[in-house]
Amino acid sequence: MKCPVCKDITLLMSEKKGVEIDYCPNCRGIWLDRGELEKIIEKDNNYNDSKNKEENIKTKDYQQSGRKPKKESFISEIFEMFGD
C-alpha cells in the first residue's frame, strides 16, 4: 500500500504487542486498519490499570526519595518506536 501523503512511498508494517501499524518511513505518518485503534485503547487501559497498581505499591519509595514517578502508557510504548 502506498502512503496517502507521499503518494510514491510504500508503507511499512510493524507489529507491537499484537497490533499491526502501517507507517510511512518518509513522512512518518501512521495508519491503522479497522479495529486497531480500539485494540490500542483497550490495551492502553489494561496497561495503565496494571501500572497504577504497581505505582501504588511503590508510592512510599518515591515519597521517601523525593522523585516523581515517570508516567508511561501502552500508547507511548507503541509510538516510541517511531520517534527520532
Q: Which amino acid is it at 34?
A: R
Residue with cell 485503534: 37
pLDDT 10s digits, 12-63? 998 877 888 899 999 989 888 888 888 888 887 776 666 666 666 566 555 5
In the chain, where the domains are located: 12-80
What's the rounded Cα separation, in Å, for the pair 1 and 13? 10
Q: What is the pLDDT of residue 23?
A: 92
pLDDT at 42: 84
Give pLDDT, residue 82: 59
| Cα–Cα distance for residue pair 79/62, rounded to 1 Å | 27
